[in-house]
Amino acid sequence: MSLAIPDALSFFRLSCGRWRSQRSQHHLLHRRAEAGASFIVVEELHKGDERLAAIATCNDEAAERIIGGCWVRWSGSMAWDRAGESHEDQTMFGLIPSDETGRNGLLLRDRGYAEKAPVAGQFRMDDENGLILSTDYEMMSSLERFWFSGPNLRLRTSTVQGLSNNASFCIETRQLDDAPRTSHDETLKDRNLSPFGW
């Protein structure tokens, strides 16, 4: 059973924090599954933040339409990684609701999940309060669904179709320890963990 969450912005706020992620990625072409692990940090971006304005500009949208968003950084590894290969990156999201419920609308990113360029996709919340993100790129498309089975446990499925066809399932656990935290420039690669971000 998922948590009762009123709108997408509330979903993003509940996602803020530090997460350990365990990932199973299924490569459909090879008919094999690959395991991975991750560390993810999610921070809220409030309406009016200059970073949200920058996302709006690169997606040709009006900044005042964005009601909020988040900044996600991750560092991770996968079982099939070659020597020296790492999975570290960051991205930002901005939400533009299409109605008063805030459960549907436009999701702006400074870079995409499947391609590294600014992209606008769609978000909607389903009847079970899961958040569904769909994005079409020039050469492929992605579909992701996130849901909470408790305040500190988030689950995620994703599929990518196009040049690369794969499906993933992630179990993400919120970190509640009192370990000291650094600034926004915290280096994730120093942790023996890994994330894949949204």
CA distance 83 to 59: 36
Q: What is the pLDDT of residue 191?
A: 38
- Given pLDDT bands bounded at 50, 70 and 90, which one contains residue 192? very low
- Position with higher pLDDT, 22 vs 32: 22
Task: Provide the whole-model pTM.
Answer: 0.83
CA 151 to chain centre: 17
- Position with higher pLDDT, 82 vs 129: 129
Which residues face 94 on adjacent strands? Answer: 69, 108
The percent of residues above 90 in pLDDT, for the chain, comes to 64
Sign of the dihedral defined by the CA atoms of residues 14, 186, 55, 123, in that order: negative
Q: CB-based contacts of 62: which residues, under 8 Å, 6+ apart?
A: 56
Which residues face 78 on adjacent strands? Answer: 36
Q: CB-based contacts of 37: which residues, under 8 Å, 6+ apart?
A: 20, 21, 22, 23, 76, 77, 193, 194
Three-class SS state of 178 = coil
Instruction: Give, rounded to a whole angstrom, the gap between the first and last alpha carbons of the chain.
Output: 22
Provide the residue ranges of all domains of the chain, joining segments of one domain with +.
Answer: 8-78+86-178
pLDDT in tens, 134-156: 999 888 899 999 999 999 999 99
CB atoms within 10 A of CB 46: 9
CATH number for the domain formed by residue range(s) 8-78+86-178: 2.40.128.20
- Given pLDDT bands bounded at 50, 70 and 90, which one contains residue 43? very high
Q: What is the mean pLDDT of residues 25-38?
A: 85
CA-closest candidate to residue 135, choices 116, 153, 114:
114
Q: What is the pLDDT of residue 1?
A: 64
